[in-house]
Amino acid sequence: MIYQLIRGLAEYEKALHHVSATEDDLRRALMADQPAVFVHVAEHEGDVVGFALWYLTFSTWSGVHGIYLEDLYVRPDVRGSGHGRALLAELARICVRRGYSRVEWAVLDWNSPALGFYRSLGAGTMDEWVMHRLAGPALRALAAADPD
């Protein structure tokens, strides 16, 4: 169920060729004895139609955890029905209940519908921050570097 939605998200983001996770990979991550990643699902008429996949972060400035929303996806045929808002509201409730300081996420700059949706909820952009990623050959090269 979640696996097909993840593939739908990747297809929407024009990145299906980057999906290497399998259903077993997701099952192991989400059902571990001490999971490090969590998922909430949205249902419509008995079908899972969306998900919010997230994990904990930590702010050295506030000294408390936050939530990083890795992916939020709602099937196109049920968008506008409140599922995305409900998923984000649940993450906000978790933050408030546990004393976490924030929910944060990244959005592709071309995804105007998502940007507008997030703005409508009161989310602000963090234009002064530039996201970086170390992966693939560069990650392996740094890992192999001499530790002096």
Q: Judging by DSSP bridges, how do beta strands 38-44 and 47-58 pair with one another?
A: antiparallel
**Is the CB of residue 107 less than 8 Å from the CB of residue 121?**
no
40 vs 70: CA distance, rounded Å:
12
Q: Which of 3, 68, 73, 118 is catalytic?
A: 118
Residue 78 gets which letter from DSSP? Answer: G
**Is the CB of residue 78 less than 8 Å from the CB of residue 50?**
yes
- Looking up tokens 């998502």 gives 114
Mark whether 12 is an active-site residue: no
Residues designated as active site: 118
